[in-house]
Each structure stands twice: as structure tokens, then as C-alpha cells.
Structure 1
Amino acid sequence: MELVIEHLSKTYPNGTKALNDVSLRIEPGMFGLLGPNGAGKSSLMRTISTLQEADSGTISLGDIDVLHQPERVRQVLGYLPQEFGVYPKVTAAELLEHFAVLKGISNKSERRQVVDALLHQTNLYNVRNKNLGGYSGGMKQRFGIAQALLGNPRLIIVDEPTAGLDPTERNRFHNLLAEIGEDRIVILSTHIVSDVSDLCRQFAIINKGQVLYTGDPLQAIEEMRGQIWRRLIRKEELSSYQEQFAVISSRLFAGQTIIHVHSVAQPGNGFEGVEPTLEDVYFARIHAAEQVAVKSVVA
């Protein structure tokens, strides 16, 4: 089963163009949708999950017309939205069983087996009788994955799932996502580059509603080899370097600023070449698109 998105566009009533001619082809496995906050990721996820309509374009999941057959989509969809609320005074086992009923698992014995299996899979079985209000952020996210897995969905969407998690919970969540992404389509929507580099065989970069790049993370890094340069500068020099070079990122180190510059040739004295990372790919694509937009406005 393949998810095919073609020429999808969406403009909100306030004039915001959330999606602008988006086309993607997503095969089974982990697929990363990478972009900054406000890039259009959540709008795309809501459209795929039938929570909002598109202005134009098509989405197909196997033989399902997503935009015109929402009920069929929901039968094979698991969704963990960015904002996932729980009833604080209900236990995980109780709420998961309630969700199972809503998913159509009517046989009580079968439902209990499914719920217990999911609680084991998400490492929540030992706290299944604890009220959800007492769960940590990571535990709530794992509960969110448990409910998304009900009904053995063929398409799972997780929107910004690791934001706010501590390193231990984030690693645990990564392992869980890797496990469930082996035989179905799992779309990981995030602004955290390392989530994509750790988990995904394919990814896309989206910004301001447009897809800027799609492909294999390792191939994307290889294409950038020999084009990333680093230099240590004083903080007050940053704006000057931004005017002269394609500075794609900067960070503080020991009171000074390290900049990364994207250039096919050696940009000048004081710069040293570095091995590119997916973060460099991401920032370079975003920077290039923004420069094109600025030039079009000036023109």
C-alpha cells in the first residue's frame, strides 16, 4: 500500500496558504516530514487524516480516495496529533479499552487481549491501572501510540511526538516507532532533524507550504559533501558574515559563534571544510528557498 499525494493545496480563510502544490509518494516504512513550526506539516497531516478538506489536489492510499472516502481511510488510520489530551482521572487500561470499543472491537475477550498486548508493546502494562493524570510526558506519548495502533492500522501519523521529551523517553519513543514502522506507513512530522536522521529511510523538507526536497537522508547528505564550511567568529561579526556568505546556521561555543556556510567553492581564508549532516542539508534547503523568495519580491 502506497500513499500518493498530488498537487495538494490549502488556503485558510485568513489568507494563509498552508499547502502550496504539495506532491509526495510515500511507501511503507518510516517517512520523515521535516520543517520549522508553521511550515505546513500539521495542515498536511490533518488533511491526510480527513480532519480538514483541501482546496485542490488528490490523495490516494492504495485504492482509497482519501479526500472522498474518509470513512474508509479512518478504518486503516492511526493518528497521534501534536496536542493529545487524556482524561486525567481515568486509567490507561480503561481509556484504551474505551477507544477499542470506538474502533469496533466489540468482543470483550478479544478487546482485553488487544489492550493488554498494546500496553505491553508500549511498556505501560505495569502502570496500566494508574490514572493518566499521573503519567509523565513520555508515558502519555506512548499511550498515544497505543491508541493509534488500535485496529492494526496500515497508515500511522505522528505529529511532533518527541517535542518536550527528556533524552531517555525520547530514545524509548524512537525504539517504539522503529518497531512499528517495519511493515506499514508511518509518517513522522517533526521540526527535530535528529528524529528523522535516526529513524527514517525517506524524508521530505517542507517550508511555507511547499516541498523543498524529498529523498533518502544518506543520499541528501552525500549530495552536500564538500559544500559545508565552518568558521569561528565573534558574535558581533555575524551580521557581516550573513551579508557576505550563505550562512545556514550559527551557534555559540565558548563565548564565540560557530557558523556553517553553504558554498560549492572554498568561501575564503579562515573557513574549514566539514562533513555535512542532515541538519546542514535542512538549513541549506530552507536558506536557499528563502533567498529565492526574497529575490522574487525585490524583482
Structure 2
Amino acid sequence: MILDIRNLSKTYSNGVQALKDVSLTISQGMFGLLGPNGAGKSSLMRTIATLQEADSGSVTLGTIDVLKQKEEVRKVLGYLPQEFGLYPKIDAITLLDHLAVLKGIGNAKQRKELVETLLHKTNLWGARNKNLGGYSGGMKQRFGIAQALLANPKLIIVDEPTAGLDPAERNRFLNLLSELGENTIVILSTHIVDDVKELCTDMAIINKGEVLYKGNPLDAIADVNGKVWKKRITKSELEAHKQNHQVISERLISGKPEIRVFSTTQPDSSFEAVEADLEDVYFTHIFSTQKEAVAV
């Protein structure tokens, strides 16, 4: 099954253009959607999930017209938004069973088997009788995936799923997503580059409602490899370097800035070549759009 997005646009009533002629083709597997906060990722996800209308464009999932056949989409969709509510005084097995009823799974035996399978799959079986209010952040996210899988979805959308998770919980959650991506279209919307690097075979970078890049993460890294340079500088030198070079990122190392610069040739002998990574790809594309906005 293929998710095909063509020329999708959305402007809110306050005048903010959240999506600008977005076109993407997404196949089965893990697809990473990278972008800073406010880039338009959530607007795109909400539109695909039938939670808001688009102004123009089309979205198809196989033979389903996503923008017109909303009920058909919801039958095959699993959605985990960035923030979702849980009943804190209800245990996991009771709430998951209730949600299964709402999904139309009326057979009690079938429902029991499904709920137990999902709790095992998400590693929550041991906490099945614990009230959800006592769950950690990672456990709540895994419960969110369990409820998203109730309908045996063909498309799963997860929006910023690892924000705020500790490293152990993040690894558990990413491993679960990776398993799901073997047989389903999974869209991982995030601003965390490492999540995409570790999981996705295809990706897009979006900013200010526009798609800046679409392709394989390894190919994206290869495109900028040999064009990224680093240099340790003083804080007082930072602004001058930003004026004279395409500084794509900066970080403090032992209290002293280290900058990474994108350039097709070595800026000068004080710069050292570095092996590019996906973060360099991300910042290079984001910097380009910011530079264009300033020029305009």
C-alpha cells in the first residue's frame, strides 16, 4: 500500500500557512518526517489522520481518498498524537478492552485475545492491572501504540513520540516502532534527528510548511559528505564567523564554541574536515530556508 500526498496546502484562520504545496510518496516501512517545532509536521499529520481539512491538494492511501473517505481511513489508521489523554484511575487492560469495543470488536473472546496480545507486544503485560496514572512517560507512549494497533492498521502515524523519554524508554519505544514498520506504513514525525537516523529508510525534511528534502538518509548524508568543516572559536568570534560562513550548527565544548560550517571547499586552513552525519544534513537544509527568508 502507498500513501500518496499531492500538492497539499493548508492556511489557518489567523493567516499562518502551515502547508505549502506538499507532495510526498510514502511506501511500507518507517518514514521519518523531520523538522523544527512549527514546521508544519503536526498539520500534515492531522490532515492525513482526518482531524482537519486541507484547503487544496489530494491524499490517497491505496484506493482510499483520504480527504473524502474519512471513515474508511479511520478503519485502517493507527494514530498516536504528540499529546493524548488517558484515564488515570483505570488500569491498562480495562481501558484497552473498552477502546476495542469502541473500535467495533464485539466478540468478547476475540477482544480478550487481541488486548492480551497487544499488552505483551508493547511489554505492558506485567503492568496490565496498574492504573494508567502510575505509568512512566515511556509506558504511556507504549500504551498509546497498543491502542493505535487495535484496528490492525495499514497506516500508523506517531507525532513526536520520544520527546521527554529517558534513554532506556526511548530505546524500547523505537524498537517497537521498528518492528511495526516491517509490515505497515509508519510515519515518524519528529524534530529528533537520531530517531530518524536509527530507524528510517526513507525521510523528508519539512520547514515552514514546505518539503526541503525527500530521500534515503544515507544518500542525504553522502550528498553533504566532504562539505562539512569544524572549528573551535571564542565566543567573541562567533558572530563574525556567522557573517562570513554558512554556519549550520554550533555547540559548546568545555565552555568554548565549536562551529560546523557547510562549504564545498575548505573555508581556510583553520577549519578541519569532519565526516558528515544526518544532523548536518538537517541543519544545512534548515539554514538554507532561513537564509532565503532573510534575503527576501
Question: TM-score category by the smaller chain?
Answer: over 0.9
**2:277 corresponds to which letter in structure 1?**
T
What SS does the corresponding residue of 1:284 show, helix, strand or coil?
helix
**Structure 1 residues 164-196: Cα deviation after superposition (integer angstroms, max 9, x where no partner):** 000000000011000111011000000000000
Partner of 1:268: 268
TM-score of the aligned structures, taking structure 1 as reference length: 0.98
Partner of 1:15: 15
- Once the 2 structures are TM-superposed, how far is the Cα of residue 275 of structure 1 from its aligned partner? 0.3
Taking the aligned partners of 1:173 and 1:198, their CA distance within structure 2 comes to 12
**Structure 1 residues 30-51: Cα deviation after superposition (integer angstroms, max 9, x where no partner):** 0000000000000000000000
Partner of 2:211: 211
Partner of 1:236: 236
What SS does the corresponding residue of 2:60 show, helix, strand or coil?
strand
**Structure 1 residues 1-53: Cα deviation after superposition (integer angstroms, max 9, x where no partner):** 10000000000000000000000000000000000000000000000000000
**1:191 corresponds to which letter in structure 2?**
H
Matched, 1:167 2:167: yes
What SS does the corresponding residue of 2:119 show, helix, strand or coil?
helix
Taking the aligned partners of 1:197 and 1:132, their CA distance within structure 2 comes to 31
Matched, 1:191 2:188: no
Taking the aligned partners of 1:288 and 1:181, their CA distance within structure 2 comes to 31
Structure 1: 5+ residue runs without aligned partners? Answer: none
What SS does the corresponding residue of 1:4 show, helix, strand or coil?
strand
Taking the aligned partners of 2:211 and 2:28, their CA distance within structure 1 comes to 20
**2:228 corresponds to which letter in structure 1?**
I
**Structure 1 residues 74-93: Cα deviation after superposition (integer angstroms, max 9, x where no partner):** 00000000011100000000
- Once the 2 structures are TM-superposed, how far is the Cα of residue 258 of structure 1 from its aligned partner? 0.6
Taking the aligned partners of 2:94 and 2:263, their CA distance within structure 1 comes to 56
Structure 2: 5+ residue runs without aligned partners? Answer: none
1:1-299 alignment runs, 5 A limit:
1-295=1-295, 297=296
Taking the aligned partners of 1:24 and 1:107, their CA distance within structure 2 comes to 39
Taking the aligned partners of 1:190 and 1:230, their CA distance within structure 2 comes to 26
- Percent of aligned pairs sharing the same letter: 66
Taking the aligned partners of 1:56 and 1:293, their CA distance within structure 2 comes to 24
Query: RMSD in angstroms over aligned alpha carbons?
Result: 0.5
Q: Which runs of 4+ in 1 moved over 4 A?
A: none
- Once the 2 structures are TM-superposed, how far is the Cα of residue 293 of structure 1 from its aligned partner? 2.0
What SS does the corresponding residue of 1:113 show, helix, strand or coil?
helix
Q: How many matched pairs?
A: 296
Taking the aligned partners of 1:238 and 1:91, their CA distance within structure 2 comes to 53
**1:27 corresponds to which letter in structure 2?**
S
